[in-house]
């Protein structure tokens, strides 16, 4: 009878050497890792503290050994959000970003941290290990990059805005002059007045939309994070656009898996993305066109890592040479009545990027366009 290999044996074969022989290697690895590691026992007392943990916190091993971790680090999550019990009982690793801990001499350190359970070779739980990184510098750099990216974009925006606002304003002034002239000559034609007022209304709405988009663009880029269920978000957003589907007699189909895990996101920003994309699809299709919206989770059941949203239309499509420009601020091919501002996709991209997601557009002229978004689950 074939003897079944236990897990440990199998692992040794896969790695190609006996891990237990590698103690110096492991120690070297721990000592030289850039991220700090410390471990606490079941009484939450510190039992292990690496060199990098010393560098980051400013504490020496002797100062922290045997002390309760909350007394040392006074993290802002110590009270309500300590993941100790969750990690211990459910054996689920917990990752936390942007947690401030207190180092030696009251130094505030912004960290990202991962907690996981420590079991010994007999399967007995001994405590919890915490890997953490100082992301203060990273955060500062990220803010600087965001700021300078924004300034660069703002430069482009200024020229575009002047142009975009100037056109409708010229139109409004012309129509108003015509009406004032008729008024002065006491030759008011209600039909002409109605037509002119409608045009003034249309142009004013266009300026309003431009200003709204600009405000969104310059708003804080960091999303306000919470649990967002994209299925619910779609169910809230599609009815808002119902009139537009009806006017163009558009067939809208929704394909959605039963259970879609939540993503970590800013509800109103994500809603804005969906709106922008569906409005683009509506504008791209002819009367009687189709828009298919699909939502699916990616990854093994119970541990899905992404939620994928796809918006597919059978509209005009985008020429290959234009595909590289469509995310640029103020890039638009919509003229006249449709009058696009060219900010919809750049705002969508900016928001998805801030959510650590990806947005991709595939298109064929005359066949249609598919926009795919993937957002990570927490
Ligand atoms: N679904 C689509 N089908 C065909 N072309 C599209 C589609 N989505 C975007 N585009 C092209 O990409 C360009 C940029 O889109 P974007 O949403 O950024 O701006 P816009 O729709 O022109 O104006 P705004 O959204 O600011 O009102 C559009 O002008 C259009 O040429
Ligand atoms: Mg648009």
What mean pLDDT value characterizes the chain?
A: 83
| Whether residue 248 is found in the same domain as residue 188 | no
Residue 278 has pLDDT above 90, yes or no: yes
Is residue 1 in some structural domain?
no
Is residue 2 in some structural domain?
no
Q: What is the pLDDT of residue 320?
A: 94
| d(CA 281, ligand 1 centre) in Å | 8
The residue whose C-alpha atom lies closest to atom 27 belonging to ligand 1 is 340
Q: What is the pLDDT of residue 284?
A: 95
**Count of domains in the chain?**
3
Q: Which range (75-79, 331-335, 350-354, 355-359) has the least confidence? A: 75-79
Q: What is the pLDDT of residue 217?
A: 63
Give the CB-side neighbour count of residue 15, counting CA atoms within 13 A. Answer: 12
| d(CA 222, ligand 1 centre) in Å | 24
Cβ partners under 8 Å of residue 324, min gap 6 = none
Q: What is the pLDDT of residue 28?
A: 80
Q: What is the band of 273 on the pLDDT scale with cuts at 50, 70, 90?
A: very high
Atom of ligand 1 lying closest to residue 343 CA: 26
Task: Return the percentage of the chain with pLDDT > 70, whole number.
Answer: 85
Nearest to 354 by CA among 125, 44, 142, 212: 142
In CATH, what number is assigned to the domain containing residue 175? 1.10.287.130
Domain final residue, candidates 89, 107, 134:
134
Ligand nearest to the CA of 209: 1
Domain final residue, candidates 194, 219, 244:
219
Q: Which of 6-15, 181-190, 305-314 is modeled with the greatest confidence?
A: 305-314
Q: What is the pLDDT of residue 9?
A: 56
Distance CA 140, CA 223 (A): 17
Q: What is the pLDDT of residue 16?
A: 53
Is residue 105 in some structural domain?
yes
Helix axis angle for 267-284 and 344-354, nearest 10°, is: 150
Residue 254 has pLDDT above 70, yes or no: yes
b/e map 272-287, b = 16+ CB within 10 Å: bbbbbbbebbbbbbee
Q: What is the band of 163 on the pLDDT scale with cuts at 50, 70, 90?
A: low
| Whether residue 34 is found in the same domain as residue 149 | no
Residues with CB under 6 A from ligand 1: 213, 276, 280-281, 284, 313, 315-318, 326, 331-334, 340-346, 369
**Alpha carbon separation from 312 to 284, 291, 295 (Å, rounded):** 11, 6, 12
| Whether residue 231 is found in the same domain as residue 255 | yes
Q: What is the pLDDT of residue 288?
A: 94
DSSP letters spanning 265-322: E-HHHHHHHHHHHHHHHHHHS-TT-EEEEEEEEESSTTS--EEEEEEEE-SS---HHH
| Whether residue 53 is found in the same domain as residue 130 | yes
> Exposed, middle or buried by CB within 10 Å (0-12, 13-18, 19+), for 252?
middle
Residue 103 has pLDDT above 80, yes or no: yes
pLDDT in tens, 27-78: 787 777 778 899 999 999 999 988 888 888 888 888 899 999 888 888 777 7
Residue 255 has pLDDT above 90, yes or no: yes
Atom of ligand 1 lying closest to residue 284 CA: 3
| d(CA 343, ligand 1 centre) in Å | 8
In CATH, what number is assigned to the domain containing residue 63? 3.30.450.20
């Amino acid at each position: 009878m074939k003897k079944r290999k236990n897990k440990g044996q199998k692992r040794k074969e896969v790695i190609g050497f006996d891990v237990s022989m590698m103690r110096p290697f492991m120690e070297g690895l721990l000592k030289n890792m850039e991220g700090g590691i410390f471990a606490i026992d079941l009484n939450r007392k510190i039992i292990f503290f690496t060199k990098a943990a010393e560098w980051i916190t400013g504490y020496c091993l002797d100062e922290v050994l045997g002390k309760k971790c909350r007394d040392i680090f006074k993290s802002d999550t110590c009270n309500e959000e300590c993941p100790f019990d969750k990690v211990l009982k459910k054996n689920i690793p917990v990752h936390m970003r942007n947690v401030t801990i207190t180092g030696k001499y009251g130094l505030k350190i912004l960290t990202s941290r991962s907690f996981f359970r420590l079991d010994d070779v007999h399967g007995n739980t001994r405590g919890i290990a915490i890997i953490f990184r100082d992301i203060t510098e990273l955060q500062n750099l990220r803010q600087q990059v965001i700021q300078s990216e924004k300034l660069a974009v703002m430069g482009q925006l200024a020229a575009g805005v002047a142009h975009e606002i100037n056109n409708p304003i010229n139109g409004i002034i012309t129509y108003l002059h015509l009406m004032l002239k008729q008024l002065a000559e006491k030759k008011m034609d209600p039909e002409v007045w109605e037509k002119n007022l409608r045009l003034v209304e249309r142009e004013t709405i266009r300026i309003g939309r431009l200003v709204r988009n600009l405000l969104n663009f310059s708003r804080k880029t960091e999303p306000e994070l919470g649990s967002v269920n994209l299925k619910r978000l779609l169910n809230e957003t599609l009815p808002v656009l119902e009139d537009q589907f009806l006017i163009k007699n558009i067939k809208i189909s929704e394909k959605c898996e039963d259970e879609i895990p939540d993503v970590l996101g800013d509800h109103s920003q994500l809603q804005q993305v969906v709106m922008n994309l569906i409005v683009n699809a509506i504008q791209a299709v002819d009367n009687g066109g189709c828009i298919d919206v699909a939502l699916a989770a990616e990854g093994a059941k119970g541990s899905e890592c992404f939620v994928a949203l796809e918006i597919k239309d059978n509209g005009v499509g985008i020429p290959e040479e234009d595909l590289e420009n469509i995310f640029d601020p103020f890039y638009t091919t919509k003229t006249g009545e449709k009058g696009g501002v060219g900010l919809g996709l750049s705002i969508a991209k900016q928001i998805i990027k801030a959510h650590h997601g990806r947005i991709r557009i595939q298109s064929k002229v005359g066949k249609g366009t598919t926009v795919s978004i993937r957002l990570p689950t927490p």
